[in-house]
Amino acid sequence: MEKHLSDKFYTAMKKLEPRYPTKKALILPALHQAQEEYGWLPKEVLAEIAEYIGVHAAQIREVASFYTMYNLKPVGKNHIKICTNVACCLRGADELMSFAEKKLGIKCGETTPDGLFSLSEEECLGACTTAPAMMANDDYIEELDVNKLNDFIEKMKVVKS
C-alpha cells in the first residue's frame, strides 16, 4: 500500500504507544495527527491508520464519523466555527453568523469556491463568559463582534498571497 502519512506521524505515534495499554486507544490521537497533516481525512488516510492500528478501515471510519471535529470531507484553509449555543445566542451570535455568511458569500456549512474559508455553526465552545465566541482554526476569538470577525477574514485573505 502506498504510504500517505509522513514519518512525523509515525514518530508521534511511536512516542504515544507506551502511554496506552491498547493500540486501539491511539485511534483518536492518530486521527488528530493525520488531520493536522492533511486538513481532512481522506479514505486512503483512514485506511492507513487502520493498517497501523491493526483494525478494519470500517472501524476507523465508525469512530471518525462519531466526532464532529474530524473532517471526512475537505474543508477550507481557514475554518470559522461560530458558536450559536445558548450563552452566545443571548449575546448576538445569530447576527454574527448572518454577517459571516454575507461577507463570505456562502451559507453556514459551505466552503468558499477559492477554498480559503469554511463556515460552520459550533456547539458550546466553553467560552460562555466571554460570549459570543468563535473558533478560528485552532484559536478562539472571544467577545466577538462584527469588527473582529471582519478583521479575521480580511487578515486571512491576505495570508493567501
Partner 1 sequence: MSQTTLFEQHFWKESNRTLEYYLQSMNGYQAAQKVLKEMSPDQVIDEVKKGNIRGRGGAGFPMGMKWSFIPKASEKPKYLVCNADESEPGTCKDRQIIRYTPHLLIEGLIIGSFAIGCKHAYVYIRGEYVREAKLLNAAIDEAYAKGYLGKNIFGSGFDLEITVHRGAGAYICGEETGLLNSLEGKRGEPRVKPPFPAVSGAFGCPTAVNNVESIANVPHLIRMGGDAFAQLGKVDKSGGTRLISLSGHVKKPGVYEIQAGSMTLRQIIDHLGGGVINDKKLKAVIPGGSSSPILSADEIDVVYDVEPLMKVGTMMGSAAIMVIHEDTDLVKLLMRITKFYEHESCGQCTPCREGCHWMESILHKIIHHEAKPSDLDLLVDVAQNIGGKTLCALGDAAAGPVISFVKKFRPEFEAYIKGQKIYA
Alpha-carbon distance 161 to 157, whole Å?
Answer: 8
Q: Is 140 in the site for partner 1 (CB under 8 A)?
A: yes
Q: Quick check: 81 and 41 in contact, CB under 8 A?
A: no
Burial class (CB in 10 A: 0-12, 13-18, 19+), 51: middle
Enumerate residues 26-45 that contact partner 1 by CB under 8 A: 26-29, 31-32
Q: Quick check: 116 and 154 in contact, CB under 8 A?
A: no
Q: Is 19 in the site for partner 1 (CB under 8 A)?
A: yes
What is the smallest separation between the CB atom of 81 and partner 1, expressed in angstroms? Answer: 8
Which of 22, 161 has the CB closer to partner 1? 22
Residue written as grid cell 462519531: 66
What is the smallest separation between the CB atom of 135 and partner 1, expressed in angstroms? Answer: 6
Q: Binder to partner 1 among 70, 96, 111, 153 (CB under 8 A)?
A: 70
Q: Quick check: 96 and 149 in contact, CB under 8 A?
A: yes
Alpha-carbon distance 82 to 125, whole Å?
Answer: 9
Q: Binder to partner 1 among 3, 24, 155, 160 (CB under 8 A)?
A: 24
Q: Is 66 in the site for partner 1 (CB under 8 A)?
A: yes
State the residues that interact with partner 1 by CB under 8 A: 16, 19-22, 24-29, 31-32, 53, 62-63, 66-70, 84-87, 89-91, 122-131, 135, 138-140
